[in-house]
Amino acid sequence: MIARSQLRAGVGSLVFCASALIAHVGIAQDQSAAPSDAAAPAAEDAAPADPELAAMIETGHTEYLKNCRPCHGSKGTAGVPLAGNEKVSGGPDYLIWAILTGPGYMPEFAPALSNEQIAAIATYIENSWGNSNGLVTPDDVQSAR
């Protein structure tokens, strides 16, 4: 009897946990949908005004997902967060330095990525997640090497 009721309680809390998890994931998705929905029109707005900036953001997004997402997450919120990070949102200089040199346990990307790739990644980050710091050029990266 005791064992059976414990089992029932166990199953009950398992079901509860599962539904709580589903509810939590649902909320998390809702929350993550909101900022990207808000950011999407801004990126689209930038397209006609500055096609060069829009193209760099798009290239940079692809490069970011390839090179940075494993540690910093697709929205810059994982590991050491890049989204909402004042050192990053203040302008591209610190970001470029970090990508080139790889502080702490981060790999250095100076040998692996071109100035164009790093400029694109920096442009993407500096114009995402509430940042709007404009174009970062390959020359900016070259002069930081």
Q: Which of residues 46-75 bind ligand HEC (CB under 6 A)?
A: 67-68, 70-72
Contact pick of 10, 84, 103, 130 for ligand HEC (by CB under 6 A): 103
- The stretch among 11-19, 28-36, 42-50, 93-101 that binds ligand HEC (CB under 6 A) is 93-101
CA atoms within 13 A on the CB side of 90: 7
- How far, in Å, CA of 42 to CA of 92, rounded? 19
Site of tokens 């940042």: 131
Size (the chain), residues: 145
- Other Cβ atoms closer than 10 A to 83: 18
Q: Which of 61, 109, 127, 136 binds ligand HEC (CB under 6 A)?
A: 109
Closest separation in Å from C-beta 5 to ligand HEC: 48
Q: Which residue has the tokens 């164009």?
A: 116
Residue 1-40 contact track with ligand HEC, rule CB under 6 A, x = bound: ----------------------------------------
Query: Is residue 84 a contact point for ligand HEC (CB under 6 A)?
Result: no
Distance CA 5, CA 33 (A): 41
Q: Which is nearer to ligand HEC, 54 or 67 (CB)?
A: 67
